[in-house]
Amino acid sequence: MGVQNRVALVTGSGSGLGETTVMMLAQNGAKVVVNDVDQAKVDKVVKKIKSAGGEALGVAADISKKDQVQDLVQKIVKQFGTVDILVNNAGIARDKGLLKITEEDWDIVLDVNLKGPFLLSQTVVPYMKERKFGRIVNISSRAYLGWPTQANYASSKGGLVSFSRTLALELAKHQITVNCIAPGLIQTPLYDALPDNIKENLMKSQPTKTIGKPEDIGYGVLFFADDEADYVTGQTIFICGGKSVLSSLSV
């Protein structure tokens, strides 16, 4: 039951939602893999997990690069033997109006947010199939329903939902589940860095008038990753304080 002794890889876990999620998985008995592009961030989180008595491996890698993804997974398999749980959390945003988005802005957001989960899923699924067990949890966003200045970001996150539903159908016969979490406003370094006027506008359309905690997303991941959640697949759960119920521009 739970995630005890399962091997869990969380991408983008050097900070923010990913860091909280990987630490919660470790606290619940999983052997965790911390991944980020920044080695210093990876080392910091690994140290925190080990200091708390958890078992962790840290690997810096750019998940939008196939060779780096393959190297990442090889290192995990060498140390832990397999990957049981994959949390595709790494993501970036370059928010601009349609006429200001550059081709580079479009490509890098789609590469990290959508191509990365594809490459990782393609690389770890053979190990899951061998063991007839797997949990893939993709971190999308409420923004996939649409939001001004986020054409690239929303497209990548919407693609991730469709990707998850398709994989769920393909992999169900192998006892591999694939689900999505769509967070709303969550207190992370990315949110903290936003200008005050943008924060105010975002809060106007927030039904709860409060901001979520990274732990809120971590609990969602724990649910989908649980050994007992074997009949839940192809689903997207919104953890957004009700914002998904509103139309995109409702205030």
Give the residue numbers annotated as catalytic, written as ranges: 153
Q: What is the CA radius of gyration of the chain?
A: 17
Q: Give the C-alpha separation, 65 to 93, whole Å.
A: 18
Angle between helices 151-171 and 103-110 (to 10 degrees): 30
In the structure encoding, which two tokens stand for residue 91, read together?
Answer: 């993501």
Q: 3-state DSSP call for residue 141?
A: coil
Tell me which amino acid residue 60 is. A
Q: 3-state DSSP call for residue 105?
A: helix
| Chain centroid to CA 183 | 10
Count CB atoms within 10 A of the CB of residue 78: 9
235 contact partners, CB below 8 Å, separation of at least 6:
168, 179, 180
Q: Give the C-alpha separation, 159 to 147, whole Å.
A: 15
With beta carbons less than 8 A apart as the criterion, state whether 237 and 182 touch.
Answer: yes
With beta carbons less than 8 A apart as the criterion, state whether 20 and 214 touch.
Answer: yes
In the structure encoding, which two tokens stand for residue 80, read together?
Answer: 């832990």
In the structure encoding, which two tokens stand for residue 20, read together?
Answer: 């909280």
